[in-house]
């Protein structure tokens, strides 16, 4: 009989995943200087899908069919749009702002889920939405109180919409399907979308002249930020309550800012701190307070 690991172990797994993802904002910021966004996402996700397909080949072989293919393709397109637009956004903003503005998807989810599942958002969701909008406003205000939202900030917020749509659609497609099979198809689809969009709209990277720094960065994004962190999240979320998991996952934006300040040299103003604090509080309220009961 296997001994059950303590809940703290699984919580630490999620925290480890958020640290990995937080650091990835700085990694992506550097990587897009060498390779355009779509190509970067394509290379990252094709490699990730290949690794996962090898590791989980028995699961993939046992479950793959047209139903899993359709679900994975739809989720893969949504996921790609989120990551691609987010990566475009980071070219014109800081990793810290990119991290926190992306995290606003947590607040959007209940409202998009209302459309899909007809479940009305709670008053807590409304409060969180107002706080989130106020937080974005603070992030966009300059020191002289002028509105200075960058193009990259706007793109990051748009990416959050696609991440929210993806999150809403996952439980819809996961019903009576194998989630790992869907995940592999999803990641593979995202990778192929990246290669296709890159080939059509971006200059082809000079692969032979890419330095070792880029390949190390890509390796980090594939092995740590995609494969390892995803396994950490999936294992942990099966063992701890969703509210606790969601709250811990929101730390990704905090670590994103921390690494941006320490490694990228991002300057934190009082306006930014106030905006980040409001957005973080909105995420916490949206994730941990009661959800409407199913009728």
pLDDT 10s digits, 11-45: 899 899 999 999 999 999 999 999 999 999 999 99
Tokens of 214: 């880029």
Candidates 106, 128, 135, 118; CA nearest to 242 is: 106
- Residue pair 93/150 in contact (Cβ under 8 Å)? The answer is yes
pLDDT at 104 over 70: yes
Please return the burial class of 49, using the count of CB atoms within 10 Å of its CB with bins 0-12, 13-18 and 19+.
buried
- Residue pair 176/67 in contact (Cβ under 8 Å)? The answer is no
Tokens of 245: 């998991």
Scanning the structure block, which residue is given the tokens 């070219």?
A: 91
Mean pLDDT of 89-109: 87
Please name every residue paired with 141 in a beta bridge, in sequence order, or none if there are none. 147
Rounded-to-integer distance, Cα 63 and Cα 259, Å: 40
Number of helical H runs and strand E runs in the chain = 14, 0
Rounded-to-integer distance, Cα 256 and Cα 244, Å: 20
Q: What is the reported pTM?
A: 0.85
Please tell me the predicted confidence (pLDDT) of residue 57.
94
pLDDT at 291 over 70: no
Q: Which residue has the higher pLDDT, 269 or 290?
A: 269
Mind listing the pLDDT tens digit for each residue in 142-201? Answer: 555 555 678 999 999 999 999 989 888 888 887 888 888 999 999 999 999 999 999 999
Q: Which residue has the higher pLDDT, 295 or 291?
A: 291
């Amino acid at each position: 009989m296997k001994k059950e690991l303590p809940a703290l172990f699984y919580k630490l797994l999620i925290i480890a995943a958020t640290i990995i993802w937080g650091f990835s904002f700085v990694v992506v910021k550097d990587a897009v200087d060498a390779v355009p966004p779509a190509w970067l996402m394509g290379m990252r996700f094709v490699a990730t899908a290949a690794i996962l397909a090898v590791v989980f080949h028995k699961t993939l072989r046992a479950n793959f069919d047209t139903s899993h293919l359709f679900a994975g393709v739809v989720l893969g397109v949504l996921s790609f749009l989120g990551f691609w637009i987010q990566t475009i956004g980071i070219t014109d903003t800081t990793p810290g702002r990119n991290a926190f503005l992306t995290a606003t998807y947590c607040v959007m989810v209940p409202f998009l889920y209302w459309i899909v599942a007809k479940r009305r958002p709670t008053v807590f969701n409304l409060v969180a939405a107002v706080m989130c909008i106020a937080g974005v406003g603070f992030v966009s205000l300059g020191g002289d109180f002028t509105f200075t939202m960058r193009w990259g900030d706007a793109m990051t917020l748009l990416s959050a919409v696609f991440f929210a749509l993806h999150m809403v659609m996952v439980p819809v497609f996961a019903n009576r399907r194998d989630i790992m099979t869907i995940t592999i198809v999803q990641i593979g689809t995202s990778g192929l979308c990246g290669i296709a969009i890159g080939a059509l709209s971006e200059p082809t990277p000079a692969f032979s002249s890419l330095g070792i720094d880029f390949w190390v960065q890509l390796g980090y994004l594939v092995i740590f930020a995609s494969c390892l962190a995803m396994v950490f999240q999936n294992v942990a979320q099966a063992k701890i309550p969703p509210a606790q998991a969601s709250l811990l996952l929101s730390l990704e934006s905090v670590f994103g800012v921390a690494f941006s300040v320490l490694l990228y040299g991002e300057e934190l103003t009082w306006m930014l701190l106030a905006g980040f604090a409001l957005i973080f509080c909105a995420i916490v309220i949206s994730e941990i307070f009661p959800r409407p009961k199913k009728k």
